[in-house]
Amino acid sequence: MSSHAATSSNGMLQAIIDDLRPYDGRLEMTLHIALLCGLTAVVAMALQVPLALLSCYLIFLMYRDNAGENIGIGVGLILAATVLIALSILLMMFVADAPALRLAMMGAVTFVFMWLARASKLGEPAGLLGFIIVFILTFYDYISMPELVLRGLAWVWMVVFVPMVLLVVLNVFVGRSPLRLVRKRVRERLCESARLIEGGDPAPTDRLLREGNEAAEKHAGMARLLALVSKNEHDRLVAELTASFDLLATAQAATAAGRSEPELAPLLRRMAEGSVPPLPVGGGPVADAARTFVAARSAANVTGLAPAEDKSSFLQPDAFENPIYTQFALKVLLAVFLTYALYTSIGLFEIHTAMVTCFVVALGTSGETFHKSTLRIIGCLIGAAMGAFAVIFVMPHLNDPGHLFLLIATGSLIAGWVAMGSYRVQYAGFQMALAFFICVLPGSPLEFGPNYDLSDAGYRVLGILVGIGIMGLVFSLVWPESAKDTRDSETDAALGVMVKVLRGEDRLADVYHHIGAAHHAQEVMRFEWLGPAAGQQTAGAKRLVATEQLARLLPLMSGQNAALLATALETTEHPSADSYTANGTSDAIYDRARVLVGILTGEGKVNES
């Protein structure tokens, strides 16, 4: 067991190291963040806008990988801030002089927005919006004059306006084109397919498949919104994305089954460069998938080729039936009130980051929450060390706004590089930035210019640690929601979608989406304070591996064999011996798939007992 834990830890460490390595576009995005933060700090100091550290931190929270989303977010957040501040002013008029009513309002807002974070498509941004309202309602705790509160709220609008205007302007002129990102993704898939059929290792392809088409389709939508492509061109891009995904999955399956078609590799590379070469007649499944891609690229009218848009509702289908959503909101509400009661009762508002922590680290399962909390601690300590070094050795030598720009941009560059990684390291970069800004920029709304007092940073770090401790206790003891359950449910969901794929539906990307979510849950399981038993971890991990191996065979399944496998997967709760025993047929791939279904059935029984 200890050797398994050591192997798992080494694998996690290697994954983190890989997440810190360069990739195409990472330096460009990091430079954008550094430039925006440096400019935001200088403009805020020049205009005497308070809380410049929050303005800079908004850049980290809101920056996305393409110009379309950044422009939309910038404009949208300015409008949202206007509405939220107006709503907060209205609420403050009713609850400012009634502490009990104000506390009830804070509780209601926290519950509703955290419920929406789990039960709606808003996700994490709902928690951020709820935090803004709750934080504004706490202003009266340390600013007892209503006039000053109203004036402070007006400045809060400027705190949002300055960085978002800069974000919009930069992306209008030098933003990353979403159209270029879509074409890059298609080219990457074609090149990877060529590598696979030449005998390359199929395992690294899993990352591209788990990413699916959702992000790339969003980029295509942004290209249409910015008028970079016509509607017909947009539909063609979406069709190319779907066809390139199927081609990559087919190439991986054919390679894993020993049926690769290496003679097609030069043609796939030519297709990656944008050409439409003639494909040979006949061939295997890779050739068929390549012809489908060529048809999508060269079609004059792509009506019917692009998948139908998702018409699902704003709320989750089980929003009002699933008690987990309500329990999650109540757990966050309890943690928020505990931290709020703590720092108000001792009169130490400086550790209000304890309450902030409850909003920003709250995720679905205990494992996800503690993983994010761990990154928050690590990033906070690294950022505080960076800020302390700057205050002691650099700040005394600052003479003009240019020096301040260089200081903020340098710290943002380091934190931004980490923040542009995957979920394994991303939030550590956010916290590095926040702690750094707390150290070098003024924390009081009445102060402007560089900060020379490190006591603020110490209090904020203390508040973060307190918040994480309280969140840990609440999420471990009150309705604990294990990442193991998420892993198992996502594995089951992948198997359910496999049945639809075998029945002829074009849902292969959804299969890999669920598999990726299951892998994510399995990674964060190790962060849970009260983790599942070792036997349950091993059984679920084996079941996930078998599910992924079965998914690799799906592109090669068709006809009667596909129908038989679909029936077998549908009857896993009451299997018959004939359904899963691979007696041996002329199709080795089908035999392998039947063996995997049998393994999945057995693992499922062990896991449930």
pLDDT at 468: 81
How far from chain centre, in Å, is Cα 195? 28
H or E segment at 475?
helix 455-477
pLDDT at 386: 94
- For residue 177, the SS3 value is coil
- Exposure string (b/e) for 30-45, b if CB count within 10 Å is 16 or more? bbbbbbbbbbbbbbbb
pLDDT at 350: 78
pLDDT at 1: 41
Phi and psi angles of residue 307, each rounded to the nearest 5 degrees, phi first: -65, 155
pLDDT at 605: 41
pLDDT at 281: 79
Q: How far apart are CA 87 and CA 114, in angstroms?
A: 18
Closest to 216 in 3D by CA, of 252, 243, 253: 243
Q: According to DSSP H, which parts of 478-533 are helical?
A: 483-502, 508-524
153-191 pLDDT tens trace: 777 788 889 999 999 999 999 999 999 999 999 999 999
pLDDT at 337: 92
Q: How far apart are CA 412 and CA 436, in angstroms?
A: 8
pLDDT at 363: 67
> What is the chain's alpha carbon radius of gyration, rounded to the nearest angstrom?
26
Outline where DSSP puts E strands in 85-218.
none
**pTM for this one?**
0.85
pLDDT at 326: 92
Closest to 20 in 3D by CA, of 327, 381, 418: 418
Contact assessment for residue 254 and residue 285, using Cβ atoms and an 8 Å cutoff: yes
pLDDT at 416: 96
H or E segment at 14?
helix 2-19
Phi and psi angles of residue 120, each rounded to the nearest 5 degrees, phi first: -135, 175
pLDDT at 531: 56
Q: Running DSSP on this structure, what letter comes out for residue 306? A: S
Contact assessment for residue 383 and residue 415, using Cβ atoms and an 8 Å cutoff: yes
Q: How far apart are CA 335 and CA 114, in angstroms?
A: 12
Tokens of 506: 């074009």
How far from chain centre, in Å, is Cα 396? 39
- For residue 66, the SS3 value is coil
pLDDT at 577: 39
Report the 3 state secondary structure along 235-286.
HHHHHHHHHHHHHHHHHHHHHHCCCCCHHHHHHHHHHHCCCCCCCCCCCCHH
pLDDT at 579: 43
Tokens of 396: 């005394």
Q: How far apart are CA 86 and CA 540, in angstroms?
A: 49
Q: How far apart are CA 187 and CA 183, in angstroms?
A: 6
Q: According to DSSP H, which parts of 66-213 are helical?
A: 67-95, 99-119, 124-137, 146-174, 178-197, 205-211
- For residue 120, the SS3 value is strand
H or E segment at 190?
helix 178-197
Ranges in the chain, pLDDT < 70: 1-12, 96, 141-149, 300-312, 363-365, 443-449, 529-537, 571-587, 602-609
